[in-house]
Structure formats: C-alpha cells, structure tokens
Structure 1
Amino acid sequence: MQELSNRTSAFTDSVIRRMTRISDQYGAVNLSQGFPDFDPPKEILTRLAEVSMEGPHQYATTWGAQNFREALAHKQEHFSGMKINPNTEIVVTCGSTEAMMAAMMAITNPGDKVIIFSPFYENYGADTILSGAEPIYVPLIPPEFNFDANVLEAAFKQGAKALILCNPSNPCGKVFTRKELQIIADLAIKYDAYVITDEVYEHIVYEPYEHIYMATLPGMRERTITCSSLSKTYSITGWRLGYVIALERIIDRVKKVHDFLTVGAAAPLMEAAAVGLDFGDNYYKELQNHYTHMRNLFLKGLDDIGLKYITPQGAYYVMVDVSEFRCKNDIEFCEWLAKEVKVGAVPGSTFFKENVNHLIRLHFAKRDETLQLALDNLSEIHIKAKKR
C-alpha cells in the first residue's frame, strides 16, 4: 500500500480531548477540556426553540447569514471602535478552529514560517504544519509570561510571514499589554508580516487588565486577521460558530478557503445566536463578574489545599505547579489525577515547545457546586500522592 501523508505522520490525537475521555472513563470532574456546565443565555435558547420549528434549516450564504454578519459587525464595532463592513470583511466559520485554519491557508505558502508563542493552544502548531508552513516558537517566560523583544525580532528575521497571537492566552491566561502589542505590531510592520489573532476570550478579562484589539493599533488593520467565536462569550461551545474579520483583500481569499473546507456554518444556529450579538453592555459586565467569581472561588480553594499556581489575567484556565509531586511524566500524572483524585486536567507539556513537565492546566468555567466537588477531590491529592 502507498504510505500515508508525511505531513501528518507526527500528529497525535488532541491531548485535551483525550483527557476528557479519560475523565469520563474514571468518573472524574472534567476540568481539562474548556467548556462550561451551565446553560447559555435564555434568550438564545428561546430563539433556538422557535427556529427549530420555523427554520431556516437549509444552507445559509456561504460566508454567513446576512443578519448574523450585520449583528456581529455592529457588536465588534462597539467594542473595538473599528468600522467593519459585514459584506466584505467578515466570514462566519465552523468555530474558531476553522477560522484559524482558513486564515492560515489564505495567507501562507508551503515553506513559509509562522511565529507561535509558547505556551500555545495545541491547534496552532498543527494548523501551521497542515498549511505546509514551518513554526518558529518564541517562549513566554513564566510566571508573568512576558517575552523577550530581541528573541521575538530574531524570529521575525528568519523570514516569518505571520505571527499567531492568542489574547487573552490559552493556556496561561496572559493578557498582553498595549506596550507588548505595540512591540509585536512594530516588528510585524518592520518585517512585513501578518498577525493572526485568536480572541475567543476577549470578554473574559479580570480587573485591572484590559483586552486590546491588535487590529486597532496604528498600521495594523491591514495586516491583522482577527479570529474568534461565540463559544466562550455565550457558553455555546458545541454550536461551533466562529468568524474571521479582516480587510476585503484578505477576506476574499478566506471566503474561498472556507467554502471548500466546510461550505458554511449551521443556519439555524446562526439565527438563534444572532440574538446574543445584540445584547447590551450589561451582559458583558455580568459575564466578567461571573467569571471573576468562579476564578476567585477556585483559586481560594487551591490556596486552602496548598497548591501553587499562576494567577490568570484572562480566559478561564489556571496553570498549577505540581513540581512538589516530582512527576517526570506529566501525562501519566494527569492520568493518575483523573483515576485516583477524580479531577481531569491537561498536562502542561501539551502547550509548551520547551521541556515543561511541572505544570498542569485546570479550567474553572463550572458551576459553584462542580468547582467545590473538584476542590473536595483535590483536597486529597497530597494524601493520595504519598501512595503513588
């Protein structure tokens, strides 16, 4: 038989999704894969029930239903201050996963180089390789996860065509400052590179930190490709509604890639979710308050247990330091954690290009009772670790 693709030969399955399966296998509280266990807003669910009977149930316009794109443009204009043309500057995708892939395929050629900050969401390296490009990793240095501007410039000097920026960051919860974004922007302009942003956690930011849209910086609108989704903001991770926003020259190419990848996002889900895009500022303030509450509850619990962690500035993940348990293999440690302690986590090595085995990622987008159960289970970790 002919051999299979060399490009994908080194791929493993998603470790994040694998840890969900392991959590389910052992009946653990799943704090690995990042999805909430509470319902989306009632207004969206009510509209979904109506749509289930009245439609639409057939294909929408390939790059997104008209009313959805218009509502999305209005919402993003409100928060970013940028004027966005819903007809020429937006493509609605099947989640931000497809948005990132479509953006990558629209701008890169085989052999191009793409800068990725480490730690990184595991899809970014795979997206780069699937596009035929080569990743260049630049470390974010714990515990603040800052970067060295000289190291970053050295990466651009290698001929990088693009940089992927996750802000706020998954997995480490870093919110990039305006000064940091300006450094990235200046280098992108200097070396004529694109910046592909993943901004799915744009509304989950903890005071005093602030999310700043890369595309709003001087000279960056024409070279920024903004990717995001409704998954986290409206607690609908299973609906797979994402989008790409960029200038028409770029979006015209993204539209074509998207058409051949998935044809289009789900028409009835766009119709229902459009209600959420029209929410007022109070919704986003309440969202921030809700996640601040969950973060504070969970971090206090970790303090009480005596576990060390890096306080997240945004998103809904916390990196926990497990070096005290002297685990040489963090994947095996997370499997033990799910089986014996009954808490699902993601090994930190999943996210780092560097040799990092002392961090695990937990997420706290859960109801109070779920978080309390997880904390109750974690309270036994030191006792059970002695029996390993």
Structure 2
Amino acid sequence: MTDAFIAARLREYAGPTIFSEMTALAQETGAANLGQGFPDSDGPPELLDAARDAIARGMNQYPPAIGLPALRGAIAARRADDHGVSYDPDHEIVVTAGATEAIAAALIGLCDPGDEVIVFDPLYDSYSACLAMAQVRRVPVLLEYDGTRFAFDPDALRRAVGPRTKVLLLNTPHNPTGKVFDEAELELIARLCVEHDLIAVTDEVYEYLVYDRVRHLSLAALPGMRERVLSISSAGKTFSSTGWKVGWACGPARLVGTVRTVKQYLTFGTGTPLQAAVAVALTDCMPWVEELRASLERRRDLLVAGLRAGGITTYPSHGTYFVQMDARSFGSEDGQALCRALVTEAGVAAIPSVALYDDKAAGRHLVRLAFCKDEDLLSRAARRLAGHARAARPL
C-alpha cells in the first residue's frame, strides 16, 4: 500500500502487523508457531454446542446494537460475582466486536484531536493505531524489569499527566510482559485519576488467566473509581475462542453511551449466535476456565523450564499467554533479527517485543513467546531454542 492511499496519521500502520508477518513465516516454513497468541484447542463443548443450537434456532440476523439481553445480563452477573462491581445491563454494558472494537470506540468517542492518553510501554500494537485514528497523542510510561518484575516509576507516571491528559489506558494482565498490576500500583493510578479527573480505560481480556496465586484486581473495584472506569474484556481469551470476536465494555452510562454511539457506526452489531453462546459460557463454564488457567500455568512452566535448561534467560510472567525471553542468551542484542533467524534456523516463530515498545532501546533485546499451545509443541520448541542458543554462544 502506498502513501497516496492512506491518511498521513496512519501511514506507519500500513501493511501487515508483526503478528501476521511471523505467522505467515511459520506457515511457510513449518516452524513451531509461538508468535501469535491464539490457542491450539477449542473452548468448552457447552459453548460450541450453544452456538450450533442458536444457529439452528434461527438466531442469524442482527442483534441489538448494544448486544443480546442474555449476554449483557450474564456479563453483569459475572462482574458482580468476580469483582464486586454492579452494572445495569440495560445502560451500563455494551457488547462489541472483540475488545479491540471497544478500545477503539472508547478512544475515538472520549477524546478530541490533540488530547493526550497515558499508556504503559510496551503496549499492544492496536492501541497505537487506535490512538492515531482518534488523533490523540500517546504519553508512554515505561515498564522496566527491576530484577524481580516489570514495574513503573511512580514519579514518571505523575509527570506523564498534563493539562491535555484525558484518558489513562491500562492493560492488566499485561501483554507482552505478563505483568499483573498489584493493589498498590492500582491505588496510585486511582489517586492520579481522581486528582486529575481522568477517565481510565482498562483492557482486562486476560482477567482469568493469572498464575502463581496472583489475583487480578479490576481498577473499577477500587473506592471512588467505578464512575470513571470503562472496563473492557472479551470471550476470546477466557473461552479459547479468539476468532469469535465477542467483547464488551462495562462502566457508568455516560462512558458506555460513548462506546455505544461510536460502535453503532462501526459494526452496529455482530455474531448473534456467538453472543448467545457466550452468555451460556459465562453462566455455566467458569469451572472449565479454571481448568484452562491451571493448564496454561503448567504449559508456561514447561516452556520456561526447557528454555532455562538451555541457558536462556526468561522473565517472570504472572498472567496472559506470554513469556519473554532475552535475545542476549543467543549472543544477540537484536530481538527482531533473532526472530527472523529463529524461523529458518531453529524452526520456531516468535514475536520481537520491540514491535510493541515505544521506547525501542528498552525492548530491543526482548522476544515474546506464546505458551497457549500444545505441550508437545512447546517441548519441541524449547529444545530447538535451547539447541540454537547453545550453538550461538562462544565455547
């Protein structure tokens, strides 16, 4: 695509994403794909059966623009049970085409051109594109590894707030670092939001996929925050159905109304039978989700153990599908170059984390691996990576 056919603010986003690029390379070469974050297996049988049943019952036309009532009710019940936050399903919940649409609609609807949005760096790639569409400026706050975990400098966060700051965009559990923001960090974020009258948009799509007895806390559940937080999640990660693109946003009517206004002119409404099935899953399939969480924790441990046995440095991941490894274990400072080499030389596809960093120097040496894969594939990939790392290191 040439510059002549795309707006200047979106030129840097033209062409395929790094995820599409690495997945295509994996398919071309037969490499083990630990790049794009999608699971190898389907969601719970009850979810799939409910979708087939909904199709058979004729639920194949437009849903209400705000989502099926049954799904909105199930989302409200889930948020109340899991986070202690009550929402009116008729006015404070909207169903979207995945969490990505909810985030895009929120940023486009809440911000005026020239406003500023605080983000934590690294950030999932769609955030930057959505901010560009909204014509707002992103203000990154770096997450740095402090020897035990990825953390941010509280003073850096305070300095990030300016007269044009409108929104703080928070992803927890965090992709790609695997960080789960703790209560003290969330309390600081909450205080800043209240002090500066900021709106918080929280991407919580990995809310149930947390490990090591770490607990995910929703920012909206903190005192004084319900009325200024738009909480976003989806069925894709929770029920291993990433292709369904059924997401939602919960919050006070004034914020949810903004998302509704924008999304009705984006997709209006999608996936009627899939929405019906997700309503069933949120009600009946949470034990399956706990089994998924435990399985992912085992798979993370399997991959990490295999990498460390080969002398590869990895970083703690307490949530999501992902763990980061250090390219310097392969004798390279350049994670992007390493990822391109690994596809053909080690038969493993990965994502260079630098693609998700605003501060390119901070992420240059990091590589993101997805562990939401079959255990045999993870074991095979770990052996290949360990062997490649050993061969790359000087004797």
Q: Which TM-score bucket, shorter chain as reference?
A: over 0.9
Cα distance in 1 for partners of 2:281, 2:5 equals: 47
Which consecutive residues of structure 1, in runs of 5 or more, have no partner in the other structure?
Answer: none
The answer to whether structure 1 residue 69 and structure 2 residue 72 are counterparts is yes
Tell me the residue number matched to 1:95. 98
Tell me the residue number matched to 1:107. 110
Q: Which moved more, 1:349-358 or 1:35-44?
A: 349-358
Tell me the residue number matched to 1:125. 128
Q: Deviation of residue 336 (structure 1)?
A: 1.1
Pairing partner for 2:211 from 192, 206, 230: 206
The answer to whether structure 1 residue 140 and structure 2 residue 143 are counterparts is yes
Q: Secondary structure at the match of 1:361?
A: strand
Q: Secondary structure at the match of 2:373?
A: coil
Q: Deviation of residue 384 (structure 1)?
A: 5.2
Which consecutive residues of structure 2, in runs of 5 or more, have no partner in the other structure?
Answer: none
CA deviation string 1:163-184 (max 9, x = no partner)? 1100000000001110000001
Tell me the residue number matched to 2:313. 308
Q: Deviation of residue 265 (structure 1)?
A: 2.1
Cα distance in 2 for partners of 1:367, 1:330 equals: 24
TM-score, with normalisation over the residues of structure 2? 0.94
Q: Secondary structure at the match of 1:310?
A: coil
Letter paired with 1:192: D
The 1:65–1:338 alpha-carbon spacing in structure 2 relative to 1, beyond 3 Å, is: same
Letter paired with 1:382: A
Pairing partner for 2:13 from 11, 14, 29: 11
- 8 Å Cα contact 1:69-1:86 kept in structure 2: yes
Tell me the residue number matched to 1:367. 374
Cα distance in 2 for partners of 1:49, 1:2 equals: 44
The answer to whether structure 1 residue 29 and structure 2 residue 29 are counterparts is no
Tell me the residue number matched to 1:60. 63
Q: Secondary structure at the match of 2:168?
A: strand
Alignment of 1:264-275 (within 5 A): 264-275=269-280
TM-score, with normalisation over the residues of structure 1? 0.96
Q: Deviation of residue 283 (structure 1)?
A: 3.1
Q: Secondary structure at the match of 1:309?
A: coil
Q: Deviation of residue 142 (structure 1)?
A: 1.0
Cα distance in 1 for partners of 2:237, 2:163 equals: 35
RMSD between superposed Cα atoms in Å: 1.7
The answer to whether structure 1 residue 358 and structure 2 residue 365 are counterparts is yes
CA deviation string 1:356-386 (max 9, x = no partner)? 2111000100121221222232232135547
Pairing partner for 1:44 from 44, 47, 50: 47
Alignment of 1:258-337 (within 5 A): 258-279=263-284, 282-337=287-342
Q: Which moved more, 1:128-137 or 1:293-302?
A: 293-302
Q: Which moved more, 1:148-157 or 1:44-53?
A: 44-53
The answer to whether structure 1 residue 222 and structure 2 residue 227 are counterparts is yes
Q: Which moved more, 1:135-144 or 1:329-338?
A: 329-338
Tell me the residue number matched to 2:119. 116
Q: Which moved more, 1:233-242 or 1:135-144?
A: 135-144
Cα distance in 1 for partners of 2:328, 2:4 equals: 45
- 8 Å Cα contact 2:330-2:388 kept in structure 1: no
Cα distance in 2 for partners of 1:207, 1:324 equals: 25
Tell me the residue number matched to 1:377. 384
Letter paired with 2:95: V
Q: Percent identity?
A: 35
Cα distance in 2 for partners of 1:281, 1:49 equals: 20
- 8 Å Cα contact 1:106-1:257 kept in structure 2: yes
Q: Deviation of residue 328 (structure 1)?
A: 4.8
Letter paired with 1:310: Y
CA deviation string 1:305-352 (max 9, x = no partner)? 221010101112001001133435432221111111111100011121
CA deviation string 1:110-140 (max 9, x = no partner)? 0000011111111111111110100001111
Letter paired with 2:293: Q
- 8 Å Cα contact 2:114-2:164 kept in structure 1: no
- 8 Å Cα contact 1:340-1:384 kept in structure 2: no
- 8 Å Cα contact 2:313-2:329 kept in structure 1: no
The 1:305–1:328 alpha-carbon spacing in structure 2 relative to 1, beyond 3 Å, is: closer
Q: Secondary structure at the match of 2:284?
A: coil
Tell me the residue number matched to 1:189. 194
CA deviation string 1:7-36 (max 9, x = no partner)? 112224311221111111111111111010
Q: Deviation of residue 298 (structure 1)?
A: 1.3
Q: Which moved more, 1:152-161 or 1:336-345?
A: 152-161
- 8 Å Cα contact 1:327-1:357 kept in structure 2: no
The 1:52–1:4 alpha-carbon spacing in structure 2 relative to 1, beyond 3 Å, is: closer
Q: Deviation of residue 58 (structure 1)?
A: 0.3
Cα distance in 1 for partners of 2:286, 2:66 equals: 27
Cα distance in 2 for partners of 1:189, 1:334 equals: 42
